[in-house]
Amino acid sequence: MSTARRVVLITGAARRVGAAIAQRLHAEGFDLALHCRGSMTDMQALVGRLEDVRSGSTLVLQADLAAFDRLPELVAKTVGHYGRLDGLVNNASAFYPTPMGMATPSQWDELFAVNARAPFFLAQAAASHLRAVQGAIVNIADIYADKPRADLAVYAASKAALLAVSRGLAVSLAPEVRVNAISPGAILWPEGGIDPDVQAGLLAQTPLGRVGDPDDIAGTVAWLLGDAAGYVTGQVIRVDGGRGIG
């Protein structure tokens, strides 16, 4: 299928922030390649809603981003289906605590593979297609990259690496492709729950005094992919209620 509409590949798109990004971009007229690893029930529900609005506007892709050879395949399937690729949103993330003294090399490898290596090599695979259309990349990082939590040192390091990857790609792919990152603050609490004292402490560090919304991230992604951000590249946009000020 060939489309005149712009096409964006979104990783980790089935749920939570990824689904909000997908819905926002779809509402703005993008056709979407939507990746997930295992959340196919959620993905099918999301795709059903989007297809009800605009038939033929979604492509579902399933892969483990830690499997290196699957990365170029995601780009190839997107371009093979739609005939173009205008944007890449690296949203998928591996997240879990690694308390000091208990962290393992396999945890390090997994967190870095999904959070830093996959975004880089997806961008590399997508580069020629994005250059052809003056496209853009948005990487979803985390405020913990700059303000780590004691039990999230490895995760924080992987997201800090993603910020470095974003800046490096912005230089490497210029001037045709813009590359930016978003560092969310407290948008959604972890699904496994969070200690109430930790939660209260995070909100106390947030000048706006409240949790954000996935749509806050989705709106920023839409702006960074659009023409209004045409002179913005190599930047890290904090969407954190002001928590990064101090």
Strand order in the sheet with 7-10: 58-62, 31-36, 7-10, 87-90, 136-140, 178-184, 236-239
Mean pLDDT over the full length of the chain: 95
3-state secondary structure 79-110: HHHHCCCCEEEECCCCCCCCCCCCCCHHHHHH
- Tell me if 182 sits within 8 A of 138, measured CB to CB: yes
- 95 by Cβ neighbours in 10 Å (0-12 / 13-18 / 19+) ranks as middle
Q: Supply the pTM of this predicted model.
A: 0.95
Maximum C-alpha span of the chain: 53
Please confirm, yes or no, whether 155 is among the known catalytic residues. yes
Beta strands (DSSP E) in 53-209 are 58-62, 87-90, 136-140, 178-184
- The confidence score (pLDDT) of residue 200 equals 85
Q: What is the mean pLDDT of residues 85-94?
A: 98
User: The domain 7-238 belongs to what CATH superfamily?
Assistant: NAD(P)-binding Rossmann-like Domain (3.40.50.720)
Three-class SS state of 61: strand
CA atoms of 132 and 193, how far apart (whole Å)? 44
- Which one of the listed residues 82, 96, 144, 155 is annotated catalytic? 155
pLDDT beyond 90 at 129? yes
Give the tens place of pLDDT for each residue, 187-196: 877 777 677 8
Q: Which residues on adjacent β-strands are paired with residue 90?
A: 139
Q: Measured between alpha carbons, how far is residue 64 from residues 7, 67, 68, 69, 236 in Å?
A: 22, 6, 9, 10, 26
Secondary-structure percent of the chain, ordered helix, strand, coil, rounded to 5: 50, 15, 40
For 194-237, how does the pLDDT look when each residue is reduced to its tens digit (9 = 90+)? 778 888 888 888 999 998 999 999 999 999 999 999 999 999 99
- Asked whether residue 93 carries a pLDDT value surpassing 80, the answer given is yes
Question: Quick one: pLDDT at residue 9?
Answer: 99
Q: Which amino acid would we find at residue 197? A: D
Query: Domain segments of the chain: what residues?
Result: 7-238
The pLDDT of residue 197 is 80
In whole angstroms, give the CA distance from residue 6 to residue 88: 11
Total H helices, total E strands in the chain: 8, 7
Q: Which of 126, 220, 124, 131 is nearest to 180 (CA)?
A: 220
Sign of torsion over alpha carbons 155, 216, 240, 220: positive
Residue written as tokens 């990259």?
A: 145
Note the pLDDT of residue 190.
Answer: 73
